[in-house]
Amino acid sequence: MTPDLANRISRLTLGTVQLGMDYGSFVPTSPPAHDAILQIFNNAIAGGVTCLDTAPAYGSSETAIGGWLAAATIADRRDRPFIVTKLSALEGIGDLDIGDEIRQRAQGSLARLRTDRLDGYLVHRAADLFRPGAADALRDLVDEELIGGFGLSVYEPAELEAALTIDGLALVQLPFNVFDRRFAESGLIARAADLDITVFARSTFLQGVAFLAPNKLPHMLSDLQTPLAQLHALAKSSGHPIAGLCLQAVLSEPGVASVVVGASRLDELNQSLAAAASEIDKGLLSAIRQLASGVDEALIDPRRWT
């Protein structure tokens, strides 16, 4: 990824899944009305957000961004936000068709987003990046300037460990929150940053679990009650909102370029903007980092919630 593009990435990235489809396991949301979506985009940009995260799998998210860009007359890549979208799972696609399929899907995203280049293009299912011809096809799209850089979205450290060997890898999106420090403690975030790979962190609030009352957790997450109660106690004793503690715990990690946060309402966006601008002292930060100790992976991976 070229330095001028990397410099366009703000510390907060607006995640747009909630603007395109129903979302959330325990704190469900539905897409707001069209005018409200436009207001969220406009206020995010006014608040210093310069990066948007989307995907074809996020319902009408890409189309909403494209409509907003057209209405705001900022589709010129020099003026518009840095846009990251994703390559949907390549299930059912034969190896010989991988290259053509990747190109067609990228062109579909370009059309929906109403732009001439995807700044970041992430393989949504990590295993697809290792399909024969996939990385070559993505490198070709970079050479043709249809995408600014390619990468992948991961769930597990082993996926990122393997991906770091792929030539041309420019971006990675990974889960990181107060209960899940696997990528930091394994050294993989630092390694990626050393390789000039831009690291986006997601799931900062663990799909809203951080805001639940500890005694109201669903049964399959009952073992999170103690660390969640400790998080709430730290928020109360410090006077910082839970959102602030969660965001600062990730933003303060060396190597993390940006944190993806969603919003289905304007007040949620404003809460995240304010939280990202807050500061917490090193002692409190150290206490927050201890919350992940001993937390079972089944509790922090939404794919395993049933």
Q: In the 8-state DSSP scheme, what is residue 197?
A: P
Q: Look at residue 161 and tell me whether its pLDDT is greater than 70.
A: yes
Q: Which residue has the tokens 């299930």?
A: 91
Residue 300 lies in a domain: no
Mean pLDDT of 166-185: 97
pTM of the model as a whole: 0.94
The whole-number pLDDT of residue 126 equals 96
Residue 302 lies in a domain: no
Mean pLDDT of 215-237: 96
Mean pLDDT, the chain, as a whole number?
Answer: 93
Residue 241 lies in a domain: no
Residue 35 lies in a domain: yes
Question: Per residue in 190-201, is it b (16+ CB within 10 Å) or e — as a string?
Answer: eebbeeebbbbb
The total number of structural domains that make up the chain = 1
Q: Look at residue 201 and tell me whether its pLDDT is greater than 80.
A: yes
Residues 162, 254: Cα–Cα separation, whole Å: 21
Residues 17, 57: Cα–Cα separation, whole Å: 8
| Dihedrals phi, psi of 146, to nearest 5 degrees | -80, -25
Residue 217 lies in a domain: no
3-state SS assignment for residue 171: strand
Q: Where are the beta strands (DSSP E) in 243-302?
A: 256-262
Q: Domain range holding 62?
A: 3-211+255-278
Q: Which residue has the tokens 């946060």?
A: 261
DSSP 76-121: STTTSPEEEEEE---TT--GGGHHHHHHHHHHHHHHHHT-S-BSEE
Residue 249 lies in a domain: no
Contact (CB, 8 A) for 88 and 49: no
Residues 219, 200: Cα–Cα separation, whole Å: 30
Local confidence band at 4 (pLDDT 50, 70, 90 cut-offs) = low
CA dihedral 220, 294, 302, 14 (to 10 degrees): 130
> What's the Rg (C-alpha) of the chain?
19
Residue 38 lies in a domain: yes
> What confidence tens digit (pLDDT) does each residue in 7-18 have?
789 999 999 999
Local confidence band at 254 (pLDDT 50, 70, 90 cut-offs) = very high
The whole-number pLDDT of residue 1 equals 46
Q: Which CATH number do you get for residue 178?
A: 3.20.20.100
> What confidence tens digit (pLDDT) does each residue in 67-124 have?
999 887 654 555 689 999 999 999 999 999 999 999 999 999 999 999 999 999 999 9
Residue 190 lies in a domain: yes
Length of the chain: 306
> What confidence tens digit (pLDDT) does each residue in 21-62 have?
888 666 677 889 999 999 999 999 999 999 999 999 999 999
Residues 300, 206: Cα–Cα separation, whole Å: 7
